[in-house]
Structure 1
Amino acid sequence: MLLAVLLTGCGAGQETDNAQVQADISPVIPKVSAAVVVIRVSDNQRVRRGDTLVLLDDRDLKLRVEQAEIALAQARANVVVARKNSAAARLGIATVASTSGAATAGIATARATVESARARLRQTTQNFQRQAALLAQQSATQQSVDNARADRDGAAASLAAAEAQVKVLTGQAGAATNQVATARSQADIVGQSVTLAQLAVKQTEAALATARLLESYTVITAPASGVVSDRNLQVGQLVAPGQTLMKVAQDGNLWVVANFKETQLEKMKVGQPVEIKADTYSDKVFQGKVQSLSPATGARYSLLPPDNATGNFVKVTQRVPVKIVFTEPPAADTPLRAGMSVTANVKESK
């Protein structure tokens, strides 16, 4: 009963023999320019994704990798040197800062010495004046006056020497402060050189990674599992990026593109069942369904689409591509290949 309902629910359908089997065909394209050394496949050979198809001459690219490795080693050595210079600069700051601190402490000691010398000068001056007064009263000897004068003069000399020492130490402290500032500036410059050296390492690492990537491109592998076809290269041939060397017709993903007349699309819908007959197998019927209808006619996608505004208009029935997928994959004993001609019959609902 169900079969009867299905049969009564479907019309004769829309049929066209303007239909071909389609498949995903992946081109094999080199990414570097080099000479072909080894070809490991031939036409119509089955391959798996990742299988090696072609080997290119990699000697030039190996040299680039070695050069990049040397440049990276040099850049890393420069980082080590820059870090040592930075550590030495920081040590220099500590040394100069210590000298500045010692000079500042020496200034404090010298100033205390100046105050002590001034007190000594006042004391010896007062003693000299007292001895001179006693000599005038004939209560002291000339010797005591001379000794007092000598003590006063010595204290004055000590004060002058202490004040001179303060000036010297003040100058040294100022110079040490300037040296600290200079050392810090140099340390900042050395610190920047460390940063630049580290950036150079990253740059050379990127260059090395690029060189290794280019070297890996000399091994050309299959982009997908399938069958090799249209091989177009020979050993010794110089290939260039973008050049198609061969193609791989992928397994398992076949569909039909049927070009129906625009007058056949009135009742055609996505999901309708389709009977497919291949010219190769006259008694075999494959089952499929409508997956999608093109948004434009085939003529619109041509290299030179027709222009009906020229005045020489001749009405031609247009054809619209319809994509049909198989609901049951073709059996192993009746394989379908891309480009085969088929007849598609869409079973439309009443």
Structure 2
Amino acid sequence: MSEVQENKSGGNNRNRNRVLIVFFIILIVSLIAGVIYMRYKKTHITTDDAYVEGRIHQVAPKVEGEVVEVLVGDNQYVKRGDLLLRIDAEPYKKKLDEAQAALDAELNRMSELKATLEAERQKLRAAEAGVQRIEREKEAILQAVEAAKSELDAQEALLRQAESDYRRAERLYKSGVIPKDRYEKAKTALDAQRAKRDALIASVRKAEVSLSLNRAALKEAGAGVSAQKAVLRRLSETIHSQESMIKSRKAVLELAKLRLSYTRVYAPSDGYVTHKSVEVGNIVRPGMPLMAVVPLSDVYVVANYKETQVERIRPGQKVRIRVDAYPGRVFEGKVESIMAGTGAVFSLFPPENASGNYVKVVQRIPVKIILKEGTDPDHLLRLGMSVVPTVYAR
């Protein structure tokens, strides 16, 4: 009986030892797994609060008018520069024609003004040539006056000599010393000298009259030159104003061309058409959103990590991204930047913690992650998709 009890007691001890061994093995494995998991958590930072984001190009017209043609549909892929829609261009063509006609009229007026300016310049050159001619004539007249005066002075001397000879001949004739013919000869010589003197006096006076007339003509010609210069100045000012007018008309024409070009709306980038809200016949106005073009070739991920996680996140670190829409598909990327503040700070209504009922909440900081690989047409990442990024913080 005692042997049976001993055998039972030994069996129980062996079972207890096996249980303890299994327990310790499980404990050790759990500790090892826990250590491995903790090390993994330190080097692999994951969040499920992450979404695909990208650029959205809003398409809006720059001119007002009726839509006459829409060439794209919702979700259609377009390339940069593709024509999306056309606005009625007839009103803008008329504006362009009016601007061109106004410019042509101003250019024609400029041509007329320049022709008039050239004609007036020729008149000025002719007037200046007339002044120069009169000045040359003045010099000749002055020389003639001086010569006539010199000749008159010489003639006055000859006349005085003839008068002296006549008086002496008269005394001698009365005294009977000389015959009558010598007396008459002396008188004839005196009369001749007086006639020459009178003729020279008339020549001097005539030359002086010519000089006076020349001076009057020179003054008149000078006034004509001044008047012609004034005409040219006024014409030059008019041409300057006309140049300003032409510049203004050209600016109006360029604006009309630009506004006409705005009647054709093109795709701002490669991408997919979304939120199309325009149809043929709609009246659109500048700035009115008509559709959006979303390029999916350069999307990125914004992951909202807890503030306790970002300490180990650095730009350039490798990221693996799992997408809820594509189970089993993993995208490679890298951390590009970390936002300067939490998401709550930049929200429309930031939290107000001065009311007295403050509860501490772990904040989240947006981290921008860019994809390394190109676009996969079979696995397109679309804006707003939920993703799970894991940052390798080794």
Specify if TM > 0.5. yes
Matched, 1:250 2:292: no
Matched, 1:77 2:108: yes
Greater Cα shift, 308-317 or 64-73: 308-317
Partner of 2:149: 118
Partner of 2:40: 11
**Distance (whole Å) between structure 2 residues aligned to residue 123 and residue 272 of structure 1:** 121
**Distance (whole Å) between structure 1 residues aligned to residue 368 and residue 39 of structure 2:** 20
Matched, 1:169 2:214: yes
Instruction: Give, as a single letter, the amino acid of the residue that structure 2 aligns with 1:11.
Output: Y
Partner of 2:224: 179
Alpha-carbon distance, 1:132 to partner: 4.3
**Distance (whole Å) between structure 1 residues aligned to residue 392 and residue 192 of structure 2:** 142
Partner of 1:3: none
- Picking from 24, 35, 40, the partner of 2:55 is 24
Specify the structure having the higher radius of gyration (Cα): 2
Deviations 1:78-127 (A, max 9, x none): 32222222222221221111111111111122122222322443344445
Alpha-carbon distance, 1:316 to partner: 1.6
Matched, 1:234 2:279: yes
Aligned to 1:305, the other structure's residue is in SS state coil
The structure with the largest helix share of the pair is: 2
Partner of 1:339: 384
**Distance (whole Å) between structure 2 residues aligned to residue 228 and residue 112 of structure 1:** 97
- Picking from 88, 113, 125, the partner of 2:119 is 88
Instruction: Give, as a single letter, the amino acid of the residue that structure 1 aligns with 2:86.
Output: L
**Distance (whole Å) between structure 2 residues aligned to residue 243 and residue 46 of structure 1:** 22
Greater Cα shift, 67-76 or 209-218: 67-76
Aligned to 1:91, the other structure's residue is in SS state helix
Aligned to 2:311, the other structure's residue is in SS state coil
Alpha-carbon distance, 1:135 to partner: 4.4
Partner of 2:70: 39
Flag structure 1 segments of 5+ consecutive residues without an equivalent: 1-6
Matched, 1:140 2:203: no
Greater Cα shift, 136-145 or 253-262: 136-145
1:11–1:348: 8 Å Cα contact kept in structure 2?
A: no
Partner of 1:317: 362
**Per the alignment, do residues 94 and 183 of structure 1 end up closer, same or farther by CA in structure 2, a change over 3 Å counting?**
same
Greater Cα shift, 278-287 or 69-78: 278-287
1:255–1:325: 8 Å Cα contact kept in structure 2?
A: yes
Aligned to 2:67, the other structure's residue is in SS state strand
Aligned to 1:296, the other structure's residue is in SS state coil
Alpha-carbon distance, 1:182 to partner: 3.1
Greater Cα shift, 236-245 or 306-315: 306-315
1:134–1:140: 8 Å Cα contact kept in structure 2?
A: no
**Distance (whole Å) between structure 1 residues aligned to residue 39 and residue 375 of structure 2:** 24
1:131–1:140: 8 Å Cα contact kept in structure 2?
A: no
Aligned to 2:201, the other structure's residue is in SS state helix
Aligned to 1:253, the other structure's residue is in SS state coil
User: What is the number of equivalent residue pairs in this alignment?
Assistant: 343
User: What TM-score does the superposition give when structure 2 sets the normalisation length?
Assistant: 0.79
Flag structure 2 segments of 5+ consecutive residues without an equivalent: 1-35, 171-181
**Distance (whole Å) between structure 2 residues aligned to residue 103 and residue 335 of structure 1:** 95
Partner of 2:139: 108
**Distance (whole Å) between structure 2 residues aligned to residue 102 and residue 297 of structure 1:** 93
Instruction: Give, as a single letter, the amino acid of the residue that structure 1 aligns with 2:183.
Output: A
Aligned to 1:55, the other structure's residue is in SS state strand
Partner of 1:155: 200
Greater Cα shift, 332-341 or 111-120: 111-120
The two structures, once aligned, show a CA RMSD in angstroms of 2.4
**Distance (whole Å) between structure 2 residues aligned to residue 219 and residue 20 of structure 1:** 35
